[in-house]
Copies of this chain bind each other. A is one copy, B any other.
């Protein structure tokens, strides 16, 4: 399940640890992320019998050494589970009245996971990634969402295709750049689509014709010798905050 080909074949992804399992087993998760099968130590199953019975989740007892073989964590957890991979579809109406985050070739699993967690915090439920981006069901992405993966829909599509849909053409499309307009001096649309580029190369120019406004988070580095850029997950946090504040 840690490898994409197994995830694709079985349409299941792995979650690890009590916190994540309880969040997805309980009412907080989206309906489409159902736990299919749970592996846990006898101790854990004993302590959680009531919840397991209520949820109807099938639990298989496993030794810590078995869990360790499957686990991607440094310290194997008491419990891990296999979860159905949902197949979210975004229709145009759905995208029209809500902020949408779109990522070109995002590569770092920790970044994508943190971004999903941030989007959830700011009530943003729609993320689009170009197909060459890191897989959202990669275990590192999943774990760093801290459960938000079940509440934020992520689809893999060519962003240009979506930008070309008639219903989207009315949307305020922002691109994030190092040389854009100062976000603090711009009145932002409340339901924009915001494009973020790859960690190393930024946004490619094929999106230029669709971008209504180029935005930047200005640097306050005093000596003009500061960092070249913000981390993409940090940029997402700042921009989501600006839209919602």
Contact = CB atoms under 8 A, between A and B. Distances in A.
Interface of A: 27-28, 110, 114, 117-118, 120-125, 144, 146-148, 151, 184, 217, 219-222, 225-231, 233-238, 241-242, 244-245
A220 B148 contact: no
Contacts of A220: 121-124, 244
Nearest to A30: B225
A188 to B, nearest CB: 12
Given A28-B225, A122-B221, 10 more contacts: A110-B110, A117-B231, A117-B234, A120-B226, A123-B220, A123-B221, A151-B227, A231-B233, A234-B237, A241-B242
A52 to B, nearest CB: 21
B234 A114 contact: yes
Nearest to A220: B123
Contacts of A124: 220
A215 to B, nearest CB: 13
A121 B237 contact: no
Nearest to A26: B225
Nearest to A144: B231
Interface centre among A110, A148, A236, by most chain B C-beta atoms within 10 angstroms, is: A110
B227 A147 contact: yes
